[in-house]
Structure 1
Amino acid sequence: MSSLSLLGSTGSIGVQTLDVVRAEPDAWDVVALGAGRSVAQLVDQAREFRPEVVVVGDENRVPEVREALPGVAVACGPAALAEAAAMGEVVVNGVVGFAGLPVTLAALEAGRRLALANKESLIAAGPVVQRARATPGAELLPVDSEHCAVHQCLRANDAFTEPAGMDRVQRIVLTASGGPFRGRTAEELADVTVEHALTHPTWSMGPKITVDSSTLMNKGLEVIEADELFGVGYDRIEVVIHPQSVIHSMVEYTDGATIAQLSLPDMRLCIGYALAYPDRIATPFGRIDWAELRRLDFEPPDTEAFPCLALAYAAGRMGETAPALLNAANEVAVGAFLEERIAWNSIPKILEKVLAGHDGTEADSLEAVMEVDERARATAEHIVDRHEFRT
């Protein structure tokens, strides 16, 4: 049995991770749980799984959590979250947004296996995270369905173990559902509401990532993440729209063979893969009924109606702190849209303006990345407050 730290336990990834633990009760012992605002849910989880430590985001809620969980250590704040990450042999980072970066670094620098669902860690601070990955014992397994699929396709062809394995990769193809607005033109997207954007056709996710899926920014961020994870370069990473979300991504090899990973949409498969690697769990999450599967469709992404994808490629190619700049501006813009302070189609306009201000700052330290993140957020907030791109 391996010890498990689960940070972001009340979010979508966290809840589904606990589903995997329930399905495989002899595999993992939950030693730490951490969450931000959903204190009641966190307490319920702690009562069921009895961790050693619980971390809450709101200092004012600590007394009630301590009262509800006698015998469990209760801590608060980002530093405590990072300390909890180092407790488990396996760490799941399900924290949303840039706030998950300290968890990523703490887990890797402690030489733990990190099941990473927080893509912003790699996107905003790729060079910093890469150095932490070099820590003896550290291991990073992606939880995103697309990168988990790519990992499986590469692993199945010995790309990680043979000296020239990655040289045989012609391209990585990331699939995208297309989100709730697939097929609409830019003109038809002018009056999108928050309710519309939060209605995803195939996946159940949190509000921020669901909005990112609607703009295709989620896929753009995944392109940057794929480059950081697999190092093939942006010219060998492509995106294709696949509305059924059954093929989760593909790897094409130099001889023309394409290897794909297929399953029904179920994040628990990806979580279980990351937790059990190099083994596999025994619970068949996402199993396909081949008698029922009728068709698999593909189409190119529409970067005119969904310009966020092209902006992500541009930021990735700029490198250094440009992805951090883009990520921070996107978090602010999506938050403003969810609060109905800006229109949906204002999101890429804000990102483009903030990205245009990239000054080439190098991502040579965590401090440099955090400074760029803070500056980008302030710039994006200023644009939102001035209502420059309200429609």
Structure 2
Amino acid sequence: MRPARPLSFIHLVLALPSLFLLTMADAQTPFLEAYEAQKYDELRKQPLPPTPASVPWWKTRKGRAGIAILALAAIIGAVVGVVESKKAKKSNKSDAKSDSASGAGGTSSNGTVARAALGVAAVTWPSNVRLYTQKDDGFVYEATGDQSGNWDSSTTKLFQAKAGTPLAAIVPSPSQIHLYSIDTSNMLQEYVYNNGWSKGTTQQPHGLTPITSLAAVTWTEPTSQQIRVYYQKSDNTIQELMYSSSTGWETGWSFGDHAYPGTSFSGAIFKENVIDNYPSFRVYWQDTSLGLNEYAWCGSGWSNRDLQYNVAPNSGISAVAWLDGSGNSSIRVYFEDTASNFVQEVSYNDTSGWVIPPGTPTNTTASLGAPVSAVAWTDGGVHIRVYVQSTSSNNTTELVYSGGWSAHSLGF
């Protein structure tokens, strides 16, 4: 005699209608002939005998039917779970591949995907404007223009960096330019121009987030050259790296515990007066409420100020500062607004303080999240240049202020 074969999934499915009917038969009153109606009515009034204690519930017909139904439901649930799990894994792999290809970094508290825009940085050196941008081939290029707005027709390829790298540039001395970027190994890379470009210091910033921006400032003290570089960490705080020609690189202040993930930031520096050897400097950044913030060092410590104006998410932010002939400081901060994506300007000077709401230099619309870099110089008047790089092409717009604003495309 062959052993009984276990019930398969198909057997259980086929048995389900029969089990259902058996259960329903116990629950329904049978059809009665008229002559038996009175007899059944009397029996119905009598209490039903209890199920013998020696017969467990699971051995009754209802118990067996219930167990079979529960087993069938469990099997169906397991099959559905396996199918959905495979779908989820496939979807996750697809999402991860998409994020990797697009350079997506993280998600902010309000659900906006944070990312780093292509970099742009500008300096005035020695009497020209030097503009640095990254192109689609991953290389950083230098373009040269004079202060009258005439640009060389060709650009110079410098070095390769991480795709979407932020850029920051400073002029520590009349003969040098320092350019900072993130390399393909997520290291902070310095390149130095001094009668030619060469690779400078490479650092591994602690806790660097892949969607960081960069900012840098420099000044000269009586006995040393000073540099400060700022980057964002994975906990969204902004970290300062300090360089002194007498001591080298050190870790500096950390601030902005409510900074927006992937915020742009910019440093501006000026001396409090024409005879002061120690400067005042500011760092501008965006908080999680999209507000524009100022973190200020005034020689005795840091202080934070909310400038009470919102900035478009991940907008570029760039600041410039100078002293006028009377020793009064002026600051300008440039960014995209949240309503129109126009480039906006907020201004400060010692006589009137901050002017908010901001003004619009021109009706130039920036790409959402476009990087911004500004430079300024004085020669009896104030001259400002603001560079906005499109995130959808390699085109850069130059906003020019020399007594009034104008704008034009540089074509690179």
| TM-score for both structures, normalised by structure 1 | 0.26
Bigger proportion of residues as strand: 2
Higher RCO (CA 8 Å, separation ≥ 6 residues) = 1
* Structure 2 length-normalised TM: 0.25
Q: Please identify which structure carries the higher helix content.
A: 1
Determine which structure has more spread, i.e. the larger CA radius of gyration: 2
